[in-house]
Amino acid sequence: MILILLPAYNEARALLALLPKIKRTLESLDTAYTVVVCNDGSRDGTKPLLEMFAAQMPLHVLDHKINRGLGETIRDLFEYAADLSGPNDVIVRMDADDTHDPDVIPSLIAKLDQGFDVVTASRFLPGGGQQGVSPGRAFISYGANRFMKLFFPIKAVNEYSCGFRGYRAGIIKQAIDLYGNSFIQLKDFGFAGTLEKFVKLQLLGARFGEVPFVLRYDQKVGASKMVAGKTILGYLIMLLGYYWPWGGWKRSRRNSQPENRNPQHATRNT
Ligand SMILES: Nc1nc2c(ncn2[C@@H]2O[C@H](COP(=O)(O)OP(=O)(O)O)[C@@H](O)[C@H]2O)c(=O)[nH]1
Ligand SMILES: [Mg+2]
């Protein structure tokens, strides 16, 4: 089974374009699928729109009455997906803003099938790129990704900030079992939880891969919902949490055995 997770905050117009594309792509794969959308207190008609689509395709809605932010939303989505899935199922997390083309999903799955646990849609591979991104934003995004690569190096990974990724469900179930409520701690720091989840999967010994992807920012309706200040603060807190000499994430994972827990995942990317 394939589970598509979409965090959505005021994305009615984008979802109207995106959901039919997801339906078309997933139906062509001939595998059971479910789309799970977390509607995070939207006030733009996202909710009735999702009710309409739920009558036409396998779609489940998690509803937050009040906007709780991306961190809380991805926590809910991944917990729900871990419960619903078997270890060999595939979980794909995309933005709901219609900038992530579902045509990439088959290549994410093909790479997962080669034995990778986490596969990112990457702008930084040959064949990847971005359309409609202003030079200023492209520069900041490139700099942020170099910063993340420097401080949180993961072999074969160059794309850290794009949330379009495929996961083998087993690794998410394992992470939730192991980390519990701490899997995404930085839930109140804008988009930092996306990086935190990535880094914690690395500490678990997940195998990472990338496939090329063109970000279609030219299709974006409205402004980015990225809260820059909170997110940067979240990254700084992550640096502290990761490198903290007394019981930081890096050290405590190294001391506490992923090897014993799952031999085939041991030391792969550490
Ligand atoms: N649930 C929830 N989703 C959010 C929130 N802010 C952003 N998102 C979603 O997170 C994804 C990323 O936001 P987006 O505006 O696309 O950021 P950008 O791609 O960096 O410009 C989109 O699917 C948004 O709908 C929020 O407060 N709550
Ligand atoms: Mg986006």
The domain made up of 2-259 has a fold known as Spore Coat Polysaccharide Biosynthesis Protein SpsA; Chain A (3.90.550)
Cα dihedral sign, 159-165-167-171: positive
The rounded Å distance from CA 86 to ligand 2 centre is 28
> Which residue's CA is minimally distant from atom 21 of ligand 1?
224
What does DSSP say about strands 129-131 and 118-122: parallel, antiparallel, or unpaired? unpaired
What pLDDT score does 264 carry? 41
CA of 262 relative to ligand 1 center, distance in Å: 33
Residue 248 pLDDT: 86
128 CA distance to ligand 2 middle (Å): 16
Where do we find the tokens 């930085």? 186
Query: What is residue 166's predicted lDDT score, i.e. its pLDDT?
Result: 98
> pLDDT at position 259, please?
47
Q: What is the 3-state secondary structure (H, E, C) of 213-242?
A: CEEEHHHCCCCCCCCHHHHHHHHHHHHHHH
**Structure confidence at residue 256 (pLDDT):** 54
Most ligand 1 atoms within 8 A of CB, residue of 37, 70, 78, 220 to mutate: 70
Does this model's pTM top 0.85? My answer is yes
Q: Decide: 225 and 107 in contact? Cβ < 8 Å.
A: no
Query: Which of 225, 227, 231 has most ligand 1 atoms within 8 Å of CB, for mutation?
Result: 225
CA nearest ligand 1 atom 13, residue? 225
Query: Measured from the CA of 73, which atom of ligand 1 is nearest?
Result: 1
Select from 36, 213, 185 the least CA-distant residue to 119.
213
- Quick one: pLDDT at residue 227? 85
CB atoms within 10 A of CB 34: 18
Neighbours of ion ligand 2 (CB under 5 A): 95, 97, 99
For the chain (270 residues), the mean pLDDT of every run of 10, in chain order, is: 97 97 96 97 96 97 96 96 97 98 98 98 97 94 94 94 97 95 90 92 96 97 86 93 88 58 41
C-beta of 226 in contact with ligand 1 (< 6 A): yes
Residue-level pLDDT at 254: 61
Does ligand 1 have an atom closer than 6 angstroms to the CB of 219? no
- State the pLDDT at residue 65: 96
Cα(188)–Cα(230) distance, integer angstroms? 8
